[in-house]
Structure formats: structure tokens, C-alpha cells
Structure 1
Amino acid sequence: MADTLGVLDATAFALGEWETQRQTSSKPWLDDTQVGWETEVAELLTRDIDVVRPLLTDSDPEVRSMAAALLGDASVE
């Protein structure tokens, strides 16, 4: 379970970094032609993020830690 949460957290973090780079890029066309898929992935990741909240009280400390990290990195402003 913690491994899966770790992969999702890494994905959420990367999406945030890509979005920051897109916003500061001098080439906004890259969003549509090369990395437009990231918006769809971000929407899928955050759509059902509430299912992760109960994992904050899991008996495994690694699961709790990764759930907290995922919730932090996948937060929508």
C-alpha cells in the first residue's frame, strides 16, 4: 500500500512541478502539444483524493506518512 501511495505522490509532485514550469515558460504552446496530458492525469488524481484521507489513521506508519505526503502534493489550490 505504501509503495502505491509513493508512486501516486511522486506523480502528484511532478505534475505540480510541470505546471509551475508551464506557467513560467516562454513557450506556452508546449502545454498543448507536448504535455497537455498532465492536466488529465491531475484531474484523475485529485478527483477521488478523499479516499486517501482514512489512510492517515492506518496502523502502518509508512502508509500514514505516504498518505500525508500524497494529500499534500495533490492538494488543489
Structure 2
Amino acid sequence: MLLQDLQRYLQTHRQVSLTKLCQHWQMDADALRPILDVLIRKGRVRPVHQRKCGGCHSCSPTDLELYELVEKPP
């Protein structure tokens, strides 16, 4: 199941850009975002808010859109 696979991938890779996730699953960002939204609503994944890069304008917005697994307390 894609939800579980996505969680395992994030567990292994920590912070991952939407670009990398799209490449790994060979999916478009617009198709992958709703799946990430499900995991975010369940509290299993969170978006990583970061400041924009230095302003060169060569980065794709999906390169700067990062996600990480929410670690469960012990």
C-alpha cells in the first residue's frame, strides 16, 4: 500500500523533497500531494517549513517542499 510505503521511505530518508518523492514513485506532484495530505491529517507526516533559498530562482518549488515522518514518542 502506498501510504505504508511512503511512511517507510520517509523513515529511511528523514526529510525528503516532493521532487524526490515524485521521482521515486514516478508520480506527478499533484497526484502525490493528496496522499501526503492523508498522512499529515493522521499525524504521521509533517511538512517541513523552511525559508526560501537565496533567490537564484533556479530551484523548482517542489525541490523546496520538504516532508518528514513524525516520530512517535518512546
The alignment's TM-score, normalised by the length of structure 2, stands at 0.29
Which has a greater percent of helix? 1
Which has a greater percent of strand? 2
**Rg comparison, structure with higher value:** 1
